[in-house]
Structure 1
Amino acid sequence: MPTTTDVILTLADIERAAGILGNAVVRSPLLPSPSLSALTGADVYVKYENMQATGSFKERGALVKLSSLTPAERRRGVIAMSAGNHAQAVAYHAKRLGIPATIVMPEATPLVKIENTRAHGAHVVLDGETLTESAVRAETIAIAENLVFIHPYDDKAIMAGQGTVGLEILTDNADLDVLVIPIGGGGLFAGIATAAKALKPEIELIGVEAALYPSFSNALTGRDAPIGGPTIAEGIAVKNVGKLTLPVVRQLASDVVVVDETALESAVNAYATLQRSMAEGAGAAALAALIAYPERFRGRKVGLVLSGGNIDARLLASVMVRALERADRIVSFRVITNDGPGLLGRIASRLGELGANILEVSHGRLFLDVPAKGVSIDLTIETRDAEHSRRILNALAEDGLAPTRVDARSRAEQGH
């Protein structure tokens, strides 16, 4: 098996990248998290790369790559394809360095990332459903306009820049047992793994993919699991692994695990509610692994890379509400009973007595599944916890209202 010095990236490359970055990027903190430790059973430390000016680790690689360009290449300008964070990073540092930048982004990229990229002065082209399709358009434009292509992960300078995250982590806490790192194309993982293994050979390195995009899992195991679909972790929704990153990941990764959308949502919500920190789906993937596989990490000192915090506000709100629904702190139910003056008021008063907060009410008389003299009332309430919800529904049943649980889908299907 080749040694680290035989592959494309070395610790020396990463140390040189750190010198290039200097004070131009944030040296993000690595902080212990008692709340996440209690949640997962591990001794958790978080590297807050969401504190960068553009909200993610991507600034590191982008600046190292842009700094390597010749004067002629800088005048010609650069082009990149990205789902958002690489785009913002290239645009931000290209503007700082006076380099014209064009960014091709998938059409489904969250609006916050598109607008932030434009705000940094880049010309944005929306094209393609996935990064792969955007890459084709970017390469076409690069050839037509003679622009320098800045790849989001499959580039030695990019990998070296991202590796400075690992350099900082091990400098701040050399006692960590394992690092858990989001992995899409592999640039961040390859960089961190190279630095971490050089500084602490016995450390365990685990990559985390979205279950809908198991690209590295397929490449490392020879499986052919399907790839594609809507994910909140669009930053790691990569169909094709890097040609340069794959050998590094193959050599240095202890494992690459996949996490489903529920685990990703839970991790985003945990960062927001327990850490008061913004994490996008891809940025929360490392924590999602601890939530999905707690036994694997219990009792160990675990470093998590919170790789980015550029989440759309509406998506974050949806994730947090869905978390409350999963915890039975938001409950929807239906009451079908005889109509009469003051009925809705009496139900509302009773819910108030029981300590529930009414979020939504739908009141209907004209549905065929309701008696001619009856009424159907759908209510959504907020409670303290699952036990409180159970007590409320039991109390309404004892009152003769016979509530039945419903969800948003069943209400929509029935027209209520």
Structure 2
Amino acid sequence: MELVSIDDIRSAAADITGHVLRTPLMRAPWDADLWLKAESLQPVGSFKLRGATHAVARLTAAQRSGGVVTHSSGNHGLALAHAATAAGVPCRVVVPAGAPTAKVDRIRAFGVEVMTVPPPRRGPAAQQLATETGAVLVPPFDDRRIIAGQGTIGLEIVADLPDVDVVLVPVGGGGLSSGVATAVRALRPAAAVIGVEPEWAADARDSLAAGSVVSWGEERTYRTCADGLRLPPSELTLAHLLERLDGIVTVTEDEIQAALSRLVRDARLVVEPSAAVSVAARLFRRAELPAGRTAAVVTGGNVDPAVLAAALADPS
């Protein structure tokens, strides 16, 4: 299986320049050795804009006329709707029932077609829709274009913090962690890239241990508040992670909520639970991590107001 290369990621960076924000790497006010890669500041509120913009940029003229389709719990669908609309490309998004209302409402605001299905049907429904309409399927992570686009975050981290020692990156389907690990390993081999996922959706951890994809099933992973991290890796992303990720840790739901509150209160970043897992690892799993200058990828800020209010109301 051919893996994404650093040259692929550099090409993606050229494709997305001018369309995606080069987000700041912010010093954490409470930790002198922690920097926050604030992808929550992207125009659509998450890092997903990188991969989606790159995927749309790579469409042929014929593919553009047929449009794109995807499945997403919110952020990837929102990013693809934004990128496709900006390029004049028709877009359809399949969302799982129970997806955060704040995200789905923003997808609909682009005027794209939205279809809601039971969570286990999201992938098959998107594939069927692509087959029926002739649209190009742009999956949320199982795609070389997506991995390369997300990997541009790694380019920026190393450029802004050349002596970085550790990069903490959330792991769901693995597109982000595959891309970031590829870039960092190529540009800063001495640094360790550590994946972080919820204890209640630790299928990437189990997949890495088994050496093959282990799926917990969305009925089980839907327990976690980190809605963007509920899917297992694909064979493509797992191949990247097996070769390039240096380790993986898990965090609890309480730790995710505490990290979310810390980011809002002390870093003044509005974030969603999935975005807080990397910081939760630094706060609560530091003994399991390598020492040194650490960059945590804060992936998105499309949080439901009720979830944000509950996290901030907790005095812990």
Percent identity at matched positions? 33
Partner AA of 1:288 in structure 2 = A
> How many Å apart are 1:136 and its aligned residue?
1.3
After superposition, what is the alpha-carbon deviation per residue over 1:179-203, rounded to whole angstroms, capped at 9, x for unaligned?
0000101100010111100001111
Are 1:32 and 2:27 counterparts? Answer: yes
Q: Say whether residues 1:73 and 2:66 are aligned partners.
A: no
Matches within 5 A, 1:364-383: none
The residue aligned with 1:90 is 80
* Conserved? CA contact 1:170–1:199, under 8 Å: yes
Residues of 2 paired with 1:299 and 1:214: CA distance? 23
8 Å CA contact 1:7, 1:248 repeated in 2: no
Written as runs of structure 1 = structure 2, the 5 A alignment for 1:326-405 is 327=316
1:157 aligns with 2:152: no
Alignment of 1:16-415 (within 5 A): 16-35=11-30, 37=31, 43-129=33-119, 132-222=120-210, 227-238=220-231, 240-297=232-289, 300-321=292-313, 323-324=314-315, 327=316
Q: Distance in 2 between matches of 1:219 and 1:295?
A: 23
Work out the CA distance in 2 between the residues paired with 1:298 and 1:206: 9
Amino acid at match of 2:122: S
Runs of 4 or more consecutive aligned structure 1 residues displaced over 4 Å after TM superposition: 223-227
Give the match's secondary structure for 1:104. strand
Q: CA deviation at 1:220?
A: 1.0
The amino acid across from 2:192 in the alignment is: E
Q: Distance between the aligned counterparts of 2:215 and 2:86, measured in 1?
A: 42
Query: For the Cα contact (< 8 Å) 1:283–1:305, is it kept in 2?
Result: yes
Cα RMSD (Å) of the superposition? 1.6
SS at match of 1:251: helix
SS at 1:152 equivalent: coil
**Structure 1 length as normaliser, TM-score?**
0.72
TM-superposed CA distance for 1:267, in Å, is 0.9
Measured in 1, the distance between the counterparts of 2:189 and 2:99 equals: 38
Structure 1 contact 184–235 (Cα < 8 Å) conserved: yes
Greater RCO structure (CA 8 Å; 6+ sep): 2
The whole-number CA distance in structure 1 between the counterparts of 2:215 and 2:61 is: 45
Count of matched residue pairs:
311
The answer for the alignment partner of 1:10 in structure 2 is 5
**1:367-412 deviations in Å (ceiling 9; x for gaps):** xxxxxxxxxxxxxxxxxxxxxxxxxxxxxxxxxxxxxxxxxxxxxx
Q: Please identify which structure carries the higher helix content.
A: 2
Is there any run of 5+ residues in structure 1 with no aligned partner, and where? 1-5, 328-416
Work out the CA distance in 2 between the residues paired with 1:257 and 1:295. Answer: 11
Q: Is the 8 A contact 2:29 2:267 kept in 1?
A: no
- From the CA coordinates, give the structure whose radius of gyration is larger: 1
Contact 1:105 1:124 in 2 (8 A): yes
Say whether the 8 Å CA contact 2:224–2:253 is kept in structure 1. Answer: yes
Please give the alpha-carbon distance, in whole angstroms, between the structure 2 residues aligned to 1:100 and 1:266.
40
CA distance in 1 between counterparts of 2:222 and 2:39 reads 26
Measured in 1, the distance between the counterparts of 2:41 and 2:152 equals: 15
1:185 alignment partner AA: G
TM-score (norm 2): 0.95
Q: CA deviation at 1:225?
A: 9.0
Measured in 1, the distance between the counterparts of 2:154 and 2:101 equals 30
Post-superposition offset of 1:215:
1.3
Distance 1:62 1:183 in 2: 18
* Aligned residue type for 1:77: G
Structure 1 residue 299: Cα displacement: 5.5
Tell me which residue corresponds to 1:406.
none
Q: Specify whether residues 201 and 124 from structure 1 end up closer, same or farther in structure 2 by C-alpha distance, changes over 3 A only.
A: same
Return the offset for 1:7.
4.1
